[in-house]
Structure 1
Amino acid sequence: MSIRYSVLRMGFAMIAATQANRWLGPFARGRGLILTLHHVRPRVPRDFAPNAILEITPDFLDQALHTLARSHDFVALGDIPQRLREPDGRPFVAVTFDDGYRDNAEFALPVLQRHGVPWTLFVTPGFADRSAQLWWLELEEAIRRLDHLEVEVGGSEPLSLSLPARSATEKATAFDQLYWQLRAGTEERLRAVVAELAQRTGVDGIEMVERLCLDWDGLRALSGKAGVSIGAHTMTHPMLAKHSRETARAEMYQSRETIERELGIDVRHFAYPVGDRGSAGPREFDMAAEAGFEVAVTTRPGHIFAEHAGHLQALPRVSLNGAFQTGAAVQALASGVPFLLWNRGRHLNVN
């Protein structure tokens, strides 16, 4: 685990030990929160797993829902605008999953049904029809197969890396350095570098999507379950802010149209891929509103406050993170205390 995550873990434990969630909670806690999840599946121990932050176990999901139910109401994502119009009431939690993974139906659904929790799955049609790729997982698998990472890119975005990758520690360092350098540049360079590494190491991206993601038949079966709603997550999972208005608009509109055609449902909600400040900002928030999405969610961390009623296409979320699968972490996140510092005391982070 990185130093950053070790520090955060200690912070969660300190909040629990000092009961800061009780005495700071009234100042930090919003009207509610939206959880972000990706994978829910049994833990498979492995030394090199940089994307393990995106997965939690079914047992931890069960524990988290049980903990949250003591102090919060579980609501559907579409209920949030109404909850914000109501002056009083218990804090709420909305549960969301991104991308459309098979384990959501296999392992998460039974837990959510047992607790009677409604949830929204944000679907990327390119994963459902196997035309898009999980580049972050391809990058992990490519580095897993390498003993030495060599990347040389010329042109307007030069990139040069030569790093050992024999041990799990070396692989984690190589992944971290390359990942964040790629994230800092254009998506064209990112996808080109990952594609070259995948080809060099024999990583089959389409097979990976087939193995991990629900197809349209699976999504049709899931969308018919009680408590399940489906939202859009673009066609191919791009970081929208890195693309032209025309491209971003097409990704938004076409994803909704494709899902509605395939599943025979109305799609009213949207999640920005990656969803941080570098992936979605005011331009994208305005586009989501113009497209008619009633609610759109980011991955900017924070609680939902009354002021968000005027920014329903820029809602923050709270990650139920694989690095912090403890009761102390759930209580700290639900208290809002970690976000006091992160957002510098502001309720809104929409610029």
Structure 2
Amino acid sequence: MSAKYAAIRTMFELIWLARLPGLVRLLSRSRGVIFTLHRVLPDTPADFSPNAILQVEPSFLEYVIERVRDLGIDIVSLDEALVRLAAPPKPRPFVVLTFDDAYKDNLKYALPILQRQEAPFTLYVPTALVDGVGELWWQAIEDIITRQEAIALTSGEETDYVDTRTTRQKQSAFDALYWQMRQMPEDQRIVLLRKFAADYGYDLDQQCRDLIMDWPELRHFAGEPLCTIGAHTVHHYELAKLPLDQARNEMAKSADIIQSQFGQRPAHISYPLGGPLSAGQREFALAREIGFASGVTTRPGGLYEHHAESPHALPRISLNGYFQSRRYVDVFATGAIFSLLGKLTG
């Protein structure tokens, strides 16, 4: 675990030991929180698993649902959350469960829990990935580095060969390649990714088909009345890195495709990656212009009454796979703590 996550764990421990979450929830004006989830898997991640932050165990998901209800917090749909944000006086606190990317494991492991617990949830769908032609590039570079003892890292016309035998070396190589791709324009990132995958015999399309629900699976998933389907663009590109017209098309076309598949236009959108580098005021304005009722980011924080006036820039709290300790759920459910953290780190 990195020094950053070790520091966060220490902070969570101190907050929990001081019994602060209950007091903060009592005194703060936060009305609720939106949780971000991605993968739900029973498997214990390997020593080198940089994307383990996106993965929680089924038993942890079920405990989260049970614990927040024990705390007197309702689990509600996004539509109900928007109503509660605008409703005076302060209503009962709430949690919204959201899942990004439409992983197959959501169907196998998460859906039975959500049904058993009668917990409403939203699934944000990147349509090209469901078509089986997108790139889960963050997972692809992990998979390639996992099985290699050395890789070539190319920047411009220079190529460096780095050892990836040990876990530390693999993590270092992953970090370098990940942030190189994050800083590139999306068209250049795709070229680099496809060359990297081809060099090491990695089938990106097969990876997509293996990990993401296809349309029949998604229709089965969406047939659950507890489910709200939201948009997550077409190709899962970082919208802030795209020209305006392309960003608008990514958002609007994804809604068009979902409407054609399900007969109902999605009212909500999640901005891919969702941090300040990936979505900002331009994207929030586009979501409003296109007609979405809400847009969610990955900027940490609770939901307050003022968010009723800016529903296209809603914060979320990640149920991070590195912090699957039951005592931390009280911290996760306390929006004001994450609003403060967002101000300190933003």
TM-score computed with the length of structure 1 as normaliser: 0.93
Counterpart for residue 39 of structure 1: 39
* SS class of match (2:43): coil
Counterpart for residue 73 of structure 1: 74
Superposition pairs for residues 206-221 of structure 1, below 5 Å? 206-221=205-220
Counterpart for residue 89 of structure 1: 91
User: Which aligned runs of 4 or more in structure 1 are off by greater than 6 angstroms?
Assistant: none
Change beyond 3 A, Cα 1:193–1:345: closer
* SS class of match (1:93): strand
- Structure 2 residue 254 is matched with structure 1 residue 255: yes
How much has 1:188 moved relative to structure 2? 2.5
CA distance in structure 2 between the aligned counterparts of 1:321 and 1:160, rounded to whole angstroms = 34
Q: What is the aligned length?
A: 344
CA distance in structure 1 between the aligned counterparts of 2:230 and 2:23, rounded to whole angstroms = 37
Counterpart for residue 141 of structure 2: 139
List gaps (5 residues or longer) in structure 2.
none
How much has 1:28 moved relative to structure 2? 4.8
Counterpart for residue 54 of structure 2: 54
- Quick one: percent identity of the two aligned structures? 39
CA distance in structure 1 between the aligned counterparts of 2:191 and 2:327, rounded to whole angstroms = 41
Counterpart for residue 103 of structure 2: 101
Counterpart for residue 275 of structure 1: 274
CA distance in structure 2 between the aligned counterparts of 1:172 and 1:202, rounded to whole angstroms = 21
CA distance in structure 2 between the aligned counterparts of 1:343 and 1:45, rounded to whole angstroms = 28
Amino acid at match of 2:141: L
CA distance in structure 2 between the aligned counterparts of 1:302 and 1:340, rounded to whole angstroms = 4
Alpha-carbon RMSD across the aligned residues, in angstroms, is 1.8
Change beyond 3 A, Cα 1:11–1:223: same
Counterpart for residue 13 of structure 2: 13
Counterpart for residue 242 of structure 1: 241
How much has 1:20 moved relative to structure 2? 1.9
Amino acid at match of 2:110: A
Deviation per residue, 1:57-76 (Å, 9 max, x gap): 10000111111112211110
CA distance in structure 2 between the aligned counterparts of 1:171 and 1:29, rounded to whole angstroms = 44
How much has 1:25 moved relative to structure 2? 3.6
Q: Which segment drifts farther, 310-319 or 142-151?
A: 142-151
How much has 1:82 moved relative to structure 2? 1.0
List gaps (5 residues or longer) in structure 1.
none
CA distance in structure 2 between the aligned counterparts of 1:80 and 1:313, rounded to whole angstroms = 13
Amino acid at match of 1:216: W
CA distance in structure 2 between the aligned counterparts of 1:283 and 1:69, rounded to whole angstroms = 36
CA distance in structure 1 between the aligned counterparts of 2:307 and 2:327, rounded to whole angstroms = 27
How much has 1:125 moved relative to structure 2? 0.9
**8 Å contact kept, 2:301–2:336:** no
How much has 1:265 moved relative to structure 2? 2.2
**8 Å contact kept, 2:153–2:162:** no
**8 Å contact kept, 2:34–2:95:** yes
Change beyond 3 A, Cα 1:337–1:306: closer
Deviation per residue, 1:193-234 (Å, 9 max, x gap): 222211111111111111111101011111111201101100
Counterpart for residue 180 of structure 1: 179
CA distance in structure 2 between the aligned counterparts of 1:120 and 1:159, rounded to whole angstroms = 44
* SS class of match (1:24): helix
How much has 1:161 moved relative to structure 2? 4.7
Amino acid at match of 1:236: H
How much has 1:85 moved relative to structure 2? 1.8
**8 Å contact kept, 2:130–2:212:** yes
CA distance in structure 2 between the aligned counterparts of 1:95 and 1:329, rounded to whole angstroms = 17
Counterpart for residue 314 of structure 2: 315
**8 Å contact kept, 2:231–2:255:** yes
**8 Å contact kept, 1:29–1:334:** no
Q: Which segment drifts farther, 221-230 or 180-189?
A: 180-189
